[in-house]
Amino acid sequence: MIMYLLDENLDPALRRALKRVQPEMIVWRVGDVTAPPLHSPDPDILIWYEENEHVLVTNNRASMPVHLADHLNGGRHIPGILVIKRNMLWGVLIDELEFIWQHVSPDELINQIKYLPLARPDTLEE
């Protein structure tokens, strides 16, 4: 199963909302005791979540892709990054993260950045 690491810039209430929907979901946040400390540089976060096999959920569209390229060029890998739109509705975000948790294998996200919301057939208007 996918385990999430939430970026510190995301509202801490997101974890509580995800746990209400799926209590068994593993959701950590930057700043948690065993996660990277608050204000950690992006390269340090990339190393932590690679070593701990968590998928990073962030709204950092500016610097994270640059740091990711450096990370991958250094021979490392990532379990995946999910980048959310800043104005994404909470209900849609929670549905997206729950869908990914239930239906996506961790192997499908390795070394990839996915942008949420995903274009899924079940969410497209006809």
Q: Which two tokens stand for residue 43?
A: 């390269």
Which token pair is 60? 């950092």
Q: At what angle do helices 42-52 and 64-73 cross, to 10 degrees?
A: 60
* Residue 28 vs residue 65, higher pLDDT: 28
Specify the pTM.
0.88
- Write out pLDDT tens, residues 76-89: 999 999 999 878 89
Provide the residue ranges of all domains of the chain, joining segments of one domain with +: 4-120
Which residues are within 8 A (CB) of 26 and not within 5 positions of it... i.e. 6 or more apart?
Answer: 1, 3, 4, 54
> With 60 as the cut, is the pLDDT of residue 121 above it?
no
Architecture of domain 4-120: 3-Layer(aba) Sandwich (3.40)
> Per-residue confidence at 119, pLDDT binned at 50, 70, 90?
low
